[in-house]
Amino acid sequence: MSGTGPEGWEVVIGLEVHCELRTRTKLFCGCPNVFGDEPNTNVCPVCLGLPGSLPVLNREAVELALRIGRALHCRVQSSVFHRKNYFYPDMPKDFQISQYDVPVNADGWLELPSGKRVGIERAHMEEDTGKTTHVGGGGRIHEATFSLVDYNRAGVPLVEIVSAPDLRGADEAREYVEELRAVLVATGASDGKMEEGSLRVDCNVSVRPEGTTELGTRCEIKNMNSLRSLSRAVAYEAARQVEVLTSGARVVQETRHWDEADGRTHAMRSKEEAFDYRYFPEPDLVTLSPSDEWISAVEAALPVLPAERRRRVAEASGEAPGSEAVSTVVRLDLDDLVMAASSAGADAGLALRRLANEVAGALADAGRVSLDPAAFVELVRMEQDGELTPAQARRVLKELVAVGGAPRDIAGRLGLRSLGSDQLSSVVEQVVTDNPREWERFAGGDDKLVGFFVGKVKAATGGNADLRAATELLRGRRSQSGPSTT
């Protein structure tokens, strides 16, 4: 299925991303906020909802929420916490402390690598729930014989980021989540680990005939725990809705559960009270009203965010900000190297290409690499100045990434040195002399033969020639000699 959706239909998507904040302690108590501990060890009267316990808000959680808000260009406002009431065993109090009509952050946007701005309706604070394990029935909730609850995660701070229905298609939804994750990680608010549940995505999907503007009835999709399942779920759900509509039926607004195993979404059993949370202001907490000074300080401490980094790399390298190479180096945190090349006066475009291809490849293989900026810039310069051929430069770069060192030493050790221009000229002359008939045809306009000569140069120099320079020499010699009439 294509990323943009079924033919003739537009897929409209809004995402709700729950982000666990990287605090030391939980949102309302001093229990550690860590993943993977023994069950029910990180609990206290507050996060167990014991009678008589009271919540007290974690300053660092607010700080991180503010960072997220400002990174997403939201308006930070005075906010109150509400209770969202419903019975569920993973909630120790049988209500969740969340924000309702006045969230701490509202009305922002996130810029995607494509340059598109996606509206952020709100980014509010709330507490996480505990974890329920279903026993029997293959771990499926309805077929289980009983369930087990661990409250270690109960009360972990979350920020829920709700996008406007601005996304079109599965690819864009994925791009949004990737970009959002980059922002959340950059701000230090999140570790970005979807597999540990640090980032959880719910998705509102509707479809409408292309060219129409009215929103269709949406379904909320839950339980997607990777970017891949997000793409699959959106594609499946869009196709399902199109099928429903083309058969003349109506889409029912409901919450649907993504089943990774069968690759489908299923209507969740909903209860009447799911629509009646009886929100009211949490009387055990007071208004949160971050001062202007606090907000300014948060803003001043924000790192440069991916969109701005892409802009800088694009400007330095001459590439488009939305290009694959630019987003790759920013995504992989390699953009400082581009900027280092640029500020050293080296060819930033060349630096970008080497990073987006070779270094990114090495990173994918090795997981992580270290690359000394000065050494990298020197290597770029050597290639740029023709000291190394592109092939040689790639070779040296590989070594540089693997073991480090100075590029010149590496090149020396490996015996890599581009032929000087005098030497290259004499090789070219020799090759032309050795192949008069082919030269005649080339000089006569058969341009295909350039490859033949370049191959000969390559063979004659054992790969130490800058083949681009050799090509130029060949073409230059032809134009000097003029069309042969002899």
Partner 1 sequence: MTGPVEAIARAVRQGEVRAVEVLAEHLGRIARTEPDVHAFNLVTSDVAGRQAEEVDRAVAEGRDPGPLAGVPVALKDLLCTRGVPTTCSSRVLEGWVPPYDATVVTRLAEAGAVFVGKTNMDEFAMGSSTEHSAFGPTRNPHDLSRVPGGSSGGSAAAVAAGFAAASLGSDTGGSIRQPAALCGVVGAKPTYGLVSRYGLVAFASSLDQIGPFALTVADAAMVLDVISGHDERDSTSLPGAQPSASSRLGRGVAGLRVGVIAELVGADGMAPDVAARVEEAAAALSAAGARVEPVSVPSVRYGLSAYYMIAPAEASSNLARYDGVRYGLRKPGADITEMYTATRSAGFGAEVKRRVMLGTYALSAGYYDAYYGKAQRVRTLIIRDFEDAYRSYDVLLSPTAPTTAFELGAKTADPLTMYLNDVCTIPSNLAGHPAVSVPFGRGTDGLPIGVQVLAPALGEPVMFQVAEALEAAAPTGGAA
Partner 2 sequence: MRVAYLDPPLERSPGGGCRRVDRGRPGRYDGRVAQPISEDEVAHVARLARLELSQAELEQYTSQLAQVLEHAADIEALEIEGVPPTAHPFPLVNVLREDVPRPCLDRDEVLAQAPDVDQDRFRIPRILGEAP
User: Interface residues with Zn ion (CB under 5 A)?
Assistant: 29, 31, 44, 46-47
153/208 with CB nearer Zn ion: 153
- Is 45 in contact with 155 (CB distance < 8 Å)? no
What's the closest the beta carbon of residue 67 comes to partner 1, in angstroms? Answer: 23
- Is 378 in contact with 372 (CB distance < 8 Å)? no
What's the closest the beta carbon of residue 139 comes to partner 1, in angstroms? Answer: 17
- Strand, coil or helix: what is 398? helix
- Is 205 in contact with 238 (CB distance < 8 Å)? yes
Q: Which does 239 bind (CB under 5 to 8 A by kind): partner 1, partner 2, Zn ion, none?
A: none
Q: Which does 51 bind (CB under 5 to 8 A by kind): partner 1, Zn ion, partner 2, none?
A: partner 1
162/329 with CB nearer partner 2: 162
**How many CB atoms are located within 10 Å of the residue 138 CB?**
8
What's the closest the beta carbon of residue 43 comes to partner 1, in angstroms? Answer: 10
What's the closest the beta carbon of residue 175 comes to partner 1, in angstroms? Answer: 37
118/154 with CB nearer partner 2: 154
What's the closest the beta carbon of residue 33 comes to Zn ion, in angstroms? Answer: 10
Q: Which does 54 bind (CB under 5 to 8 A by kind): Zn ion, partner 2, partner 1, none?
A: partner 1
48/369 with CB nearer partner 1: 48
21/47 with CB nearer Zn ion: 47
- Strand, coil or helix: what is 127? strand
Q: Which does 295 bind (CB under 5 to 8 A by kind): partner 1, partner 2, Zn ion, none?
A: none
The token pair at 154 is 């109960």
N- to C-terminal Cα separation, the chain? 61
Q: Which does 287 bind (CB under 5 to 8 A by kind): Zn ion, partner 1, partner 2, none?
A: partner 2
Q: Which does 95 bind (CB under 5 to 8 A by kind): Zn ion, partner 2, partner 1, none?
A: partner 1
What's the closest the beta carbon of residue 126 comes to partner 2, in angstroms? Answer: 13
What's the closest the beta carbon of residue 300 comes to partner 2, in angstroms? Answer: 20
Helix axes 390-403, 467-481, angle to 10 degrees: 170
Residues in contact with partner 1 by the rule CB under 8 A: 45, 48-57, 83, 85, 87, 89, 92-95, 147, 149, 275-276, 278-280, 283-286
The token pair at 221 is 């999709």
97/235 with CB nearer partner 1: 97
- What residues contact 144, with CB distance under 8 A and at least 6 apart? 134, 135, 136, 137
228/271 with CB nearer partner 2: 271
What's the closest the beta carbon of residue 96 comes to Zn ion, in angstroms? Answer: 15
- 16/121 Cα distance (integer angstroms): 10
Q: Which does 59 bind (CB under 5 to 8 A by kind): partner 1, partner 2, Zn ion, none?
A: partner 2
- Is 384 in contact with 347 (CB distance < 8 Å)? yes
Q: Which does 53 bind (CB under 5 to 8 A by kind): partner 1, partner 2, Zn ion, none?
A: partner 1
What's the closest the beta carbon of residue 31 comes to partner 1, in angstroms? Answer: 13
- Is 418 in contact with 386 (CB distance < 8 Å)? yes
- 71/65 Cα distance (integer angstroms): 10
- Strand, coil or helix: what is 249? coil
Q: CA separation (Å) from 114 to 172, 175, 271, 360?
A: 9, 9, 41, 20
Residues in contact with partner 2 by the rule CB under 8 A: 23-25, 29-32, 38-45, 48, 56-62, 78, 80, 86-90, 129, 132-135, 141-142, 144-151, 222, 255, 257, 268-274, 276-278, 281, 283, 285-291
Strand pairing category for 167-168 and 199-209: unpaired
What's the closest the beta carbon of residue 187 comes to partner 2, in angstroms? Answer: 16
> What is the DSSP annotation of 255-278?
EEEEETTTTEEEE----GGGG---
130/192 with CB nearer partner 1: 130
- 431/461 Cα distance (integer angstroms): 11
**How many CB atoms are located within 10 Å of the residue 57 CB?**
15
291/486 with CB nearer partner 2: 291
Nearest to 407 by CA among 423, 420, 421, 392: 392
